[in-house]
Structure 1
Amino acid sequence: MEQTIQKRVSVGGGSWVVVDVYGDPGAPGLVVLPGVMSDAFAWRHVASAVSAWPSVMVVNRRGRAPSGPLTDTYSLRTEVEDLEAVLDVFGDTSAVFGWSYGGLIALLAADERPLRRLIAYEPVMRPFGQHALPDLKAARENEDWDTTVDIVNRKITGLDPARIEALRADREVWEALRRLSAPLYDETLAVNEPLPATLARRADHVDLIVGGTNRGIAPYGTAFDDIRRRVPAATVHELPGQGHLVHLEAPTQLARLIDTLAG
């Protein structure tokens, strides 16, 4: 389906989020919540390929243009309230898909409001990235976004040095990563906030998805296992041959799996 409109949603603290709507803007559909180092634009191919819902709403979380700033009071609670504001605007929507940090936010929101279906791809939680917080803080204070991108790729996700250099060599890609890295310290700090023992208690059905190349492997596979223990009734799915960046590397394959979970 094609993108039809953008909708600006006012949220707390003088900020706002912009939602890219695909398909019929008047029909209930699926809300997609990206995570760290990602924005709504990066999810356009997934949203376009989803066909089981009449509409797909991709949230551009605060901290990335054209949405508003994080604000000084930013926390994990801020993100939950932002998602709830989006769900209030799209009132007939009862299905949410969250990726990575977006998955954690969605799971917490489903502790507070009923959701018919919640789908989360490799949601993360503490201690994800905790060891890198001092370095991320120093880089942010210096507005050194090249170092921030290097920290997330090298110290957190553990990318091979050759792959990091290949990313750096692509000016367009590297500039996008620099831009998306500005809120990274605050978001990683929020990921490491304490969580309740059980998540998504008000969701009718929860599907947790792990990429086949990450299963059981730090940091994403081990974070996934930690989340799974907090959602004991969840149905677990594995997407063979895929890793954390599935929305960039296999968007159609991910969309097809999401479609199968629409029932």
Structure 2
Amino acid sequence: MPALEVPGATLSYRMAGQGPPLVLVHGSGTDRTTWDGVVGELARDRRVVTYDRRGYGQSRHKPVRDHRVHARDLTAVLEKVAGEPAAVVAWSSGGNIALAAAARHPELFSALIVVEAPFHGIRHADRSVLATALRLKFTQLRGRRLEAAETFFRFGSALRSGGNSYDDAPEDVRENLRANAEPVLAEWDPHPFGVMHEHLPLRSVVRLPLPVTWILGTESSPWIAGLHDRVVRRRPDIRTVLVPGAGHLVHLDRPNEFIAAVRESWAPLASAPPR
């Protein structure tokens, strides 16, 4: 498997297909294999790059609390693997990472498609977020680390209609999430440059000189939708796409609809004038 050397780590990645580059950035608690169900179709007309963020999958490294490191890693992937400005699809905390990388290096992006990103999620935390953080850390302190991580998985995949996508997922999906539990526990530790990217000013997103699409699942948390709404109020030209019936795990809950939403974004993104 190809690998990219970055300062302090080696990032495992794969490529599929031919054409303009499309880089997929995974969220917390999983790795590049989360995209396996959508890569084949997307690679019919794009050169798709998936990679394990450091600390996840086969990119062996201790868990990372400072998410500026993840943003620098994505920059390296865009420079050295994509090799030209790429469309970036970034899910959950990966969306925050992509926003930070784009703010510093917009020339590496042809377009940005953010999926269910918890951007500025601490400053706009609701009761469910605070309760989850307390329960997760209390369970972790009692030595029940996997149970603590599952607290996050169930919170992150909660459905408006009840239940959650984690408990409903096939066992292989659940096993993948459990295998990446340790980075989740680290990311929920307080850090000035943590997972919610409180350090990235909203004005940096507003001023991005590239087209932005934001994908949301209609069954996902109102908290996630509210974070999106705050960004869109400041930058109303963001194109919002709702995927009916999907929760936070949009690409797993509704893969065909997710693929369609990404593809529908390409045409207007390619033709949009720079900001």
TM bucket normalised to smaller? 0.7 to 0.9
Shift in alpha-carbon separation, 1:31–1:228, aligned structure 2, 3 A: same
The count of residues paired between Structure 1 and Structure 2 equals 250
Shift in alpha-carbon separation, 1:58–1:161, aligned structure 2, 3 A: same
Aligned to 1:64: 56
Following TM superposition, by how much is the alpha carbon of 1:184 offset from its aligned partner in structure 2, in angstroms? 0.5
- The residue correspondences of 1:59-208 to structure 2 (distance < 5 A) are 59-70=51-62, 74-89=65-80, 90-114=82-106, 115-125=109-119, 126-127=121-122, 129-140=129-140, 144-155=144-155, 157-158=157-158, 172-188=172-188, 189=190, 190-194=194-198, 195-200=200-205, 201-208=207-214
Could you give the per-residue CA deviations for residues 140-186 of structure 1, whole angstroms, max 9, x where no partner exists? 5666333123311445544656976666xx76554333212110133
Identity %: 27
Alpha-carbon contact 2:4-2:10 (below 8 Å) kept: yes
Following TM superposition, by how much is the alpha carbon of 1:116 offset from its aligned partner in structure 2, in angstroms? 2.0
Alpha-carbon contact 2:139-2:145 (below 8 Å) kept: yes
Shift in alpha-carbon separation, 1:166–1:31, aligned structure 2, 3 A: closer
Following TM superposition, by how much is the alpha carbon of 1:86 offset from its aligned partner in structure 2, in angstroms? 0.5
Query: What secondary structure sits across from 1:220 in the alignment?
Result: helix
User: 5+ residue gaps in structure 1?
Assistant: 1-5
Q: Determine the C-alpha separation between the residues in 2 that align with 1:49 and 1:150.
A: 30
Aligned to 2:272: none
Alpha-carbon contact 1:130-1:192 (below 8 Å) kept: no
Shift in alpha-carbon separation, 1:186–1:255, aligned structure 2, 3 A: same
Shift in alpha-carbon separation, 1:193–1:238, aligned structure 2, 3 A: closer
- The residue correspondences of 1:207-222 to structure 2 (distance < 5 A) are 207-214=213-220, 217-222=221-226
Q: Report which stretch shifted further, 78-87 or 127-136.
A: 127-136
TM-score when scaled to structure 2? 0.78
Aligned to 2:3: 8
Q: AA paired with 2:85?
A: T
TM-score when scaled to structure 1? 0.81
Q: Determine the C-alpha separation between the residues in 2 that align with 1:130 and 1:76.
A: 20
Q: Determine the C-alpha separation between the residues in 1 that align with 2:30 and 2:9.
A: 19
